Amino acid sequence: MTTPIYAWARLHELTGPQVHEILQARESVFIVEQHCPYQEADECDPHAWHMTGRINGKLACYVRVVEPGKRYPHPSIGRVLTTQEFRGTGLGRPMMQEAIRYTHQLYPGQPIQIGAQAHLVAFYNDVGFEQISDEYLEDGIAHILMLLRC
């Protein structure tokens, strides 16, 4: 597996083409691929740090870290994706580890909360998250709340 080059930025620090690339990737995965009409670009985006991971200049993965008190009481990692070209090539766990590292740097000593698609519980367990809720439906997809304790 090639290690991506990770970069973190606030929304206002990104250029127009960078924002377009991120939203295109997110919509492509979460709306088109998952057949789910929902508000993709949302009110959390201005309150988030946006991470891109690039391989040979191409967008390979993306996550955002949302400030505590906006999506959940704790800082939160979301919109976790690898792009189709790089899906299933082993980027998932290292990408999450980078997101956790950065969130701990931003918010030392705080737990991290996620709303995970329920079928990915093992993926998030592997990087330290524990299930803290029953399944619930969000935009028609089964989710669970998970917490990484500090």
SS3 (DSSP) at 83: coil
Give whichever of 13 and 132 is closer to ligand COA, judged by the CB atom. Answer: 132
Give whichever of 13 and 85 is closer to ligand COA, judged by the CB atom. Answer: 85
| Residue 144 touching ligand COA (CB under 6 A) | no
Residue nearest to ligand COA (CB): 92
Give whichever of 16 and 134 is closer to ligand COA, judged by the CB atom. Answer: 134
The DSSP H or E segment spanning 71 is: none
Q: Minimum Å distance from CB 12 to ligand COA?
A: 25
Close Cβ partners of 61 (under 8 Å, ≥ 6 residues apart)? 4, 52, 53, 81, 82, 83, 86, 91, 92, 95
| Residue 120 touching ligand COA (CB under 6 A) | yes
Annotate 2-58 with DSSP letters as a single string.
Answer: PPPEEEEEEGGGS-HHHHHHHHHHHIIIIIIITT-----S-TTGGGEEEEEEEETTE
Q: Minimum Å distance from CB 17 to ligand COA?
A: 22
Residues that bind ligand COA (CB under 6 A): 29, 80-82, 87-93, 116-117, 119-120, 123
